[in-house]
Amino acid sequence: MPELTPDDAFLTLYSDLAREGPGAAADLGWALSVAATPADARICDAGCGSGADTVTLAKERPKAQIDAIDQIAQFVAAAQKRTAPFGARVQVRQGDMAALSGPYDLIWCAGAVYFLGITEALRLWRDALAPGGAVAFSEPCLLARPSAAARAFWAEYPQITDVAGIRARVAAAGYRVLGEQMQIGAAWEAYYTPMSRRIASLRPGATGVLANALDEAEQEIARWKAAPSEIAYALMVVAPVDG
């Protein structure tokens, strides 16, 4: 069999996972409420991955029209399959979330804004928002007095800041904060517990690039387990100041 590429190994690890980043269904209900997203809203799930949150959005707003977008074909196919029961009101497509057209009452972006940068993403999405529209996004966040273990967890994301820094990046884009809450513990369990099972199922016989990918994922989970009460995403609901 030909050796896998690092991209193949990544997709092998992530195939069949419930989600591709930390998150919890309850957080969507909170964000929809804070954003006052109407029943018949147009919603975008930007960087939807395999569609865990797209499904929750469709359930939370049964009359909404939902577009979901991701750049990775395998995730798009998985999200299309999961959302098929909702029919034409949920559309999943492969594309670049930097180029949304809208208009949307809510742009939801879980664990993906850091690919663009907060200020950059919010500026790019300004014209895709309907009047009164909002953006909800989750972003790595340093808590007060982070331990060495917490800093080690985030070592590969030097742009990380604390909640004040996130608010400043929001303000720099011309947005205001409607609500914020931390995602600690359960949201990360929901991501790492299925991933641990997936690693265990792939481990027998894994060699080369796949074995390396499994090692790296295991090390990431171990770093999280070293400081789970300190590893946080800030879930921010924001809206344009002039919106």
Contact footprint for ligand SAM (CB under 6 A): 19-21, 23, 47-49, 52-53, 69-72, 75, 96-98, 110-112, 115
Q: Residue 216: in which H helix or E strand, if any? A: helix 208-225
Q: How far is the CB of 130 from ligand SAM (least distance, A)?
A: 21
Cβ distance to ligand SAM smaller for residue 165 or 194: 194
CA atoms of 78 and 92, how far apart (whole Å): 10
Cβ distance to ligand SAM smaller for residue 44 or 64: 44
Cβ distance to ligand SAM smaller for residue 74 or 171: 74
Q: How far is the CB of 207 from ligand SAM (least distance, A)?
A: 26
CA atoms of 214 and 210, how far apart (whole Å): 6
DSSP 24-81: -HHHHHHHHHHTT--TT-EEEEET-TTSHHHHHHHHHSTT-EEEEEES-HHHHHHHHH
Q: How far is the CB of 99 from ligand SAM (least distance, A)?
A: 8
Q: How far is the CB of 75 from ligand SAM (least distance, A)?
A: 5
* Cβ-based neighbours of 241, under 8 Å, separated by 6 or more: 174, 175, 176
What are the tokens at 99? 């180029």
Q: How far is the CB of 114 from ligand SAM (least distance, A)?
A: 9
Cβ distance to ligand SAM smaller for residue 98 or 152: 98
Cβ distance to ligand SAM smaller for residue 164 or 184: 184
Cβ distance to ligand SAM smaller for residue 68 or 210: 68
What are the tokens at 234? 């800030």
Q: How many CA atoms lie within 13 A of 6 on its CB side?
A: 4
Strand partners, 237: 136, 179
CA atoms of 243 and 125, how far apart (whole Å): 12
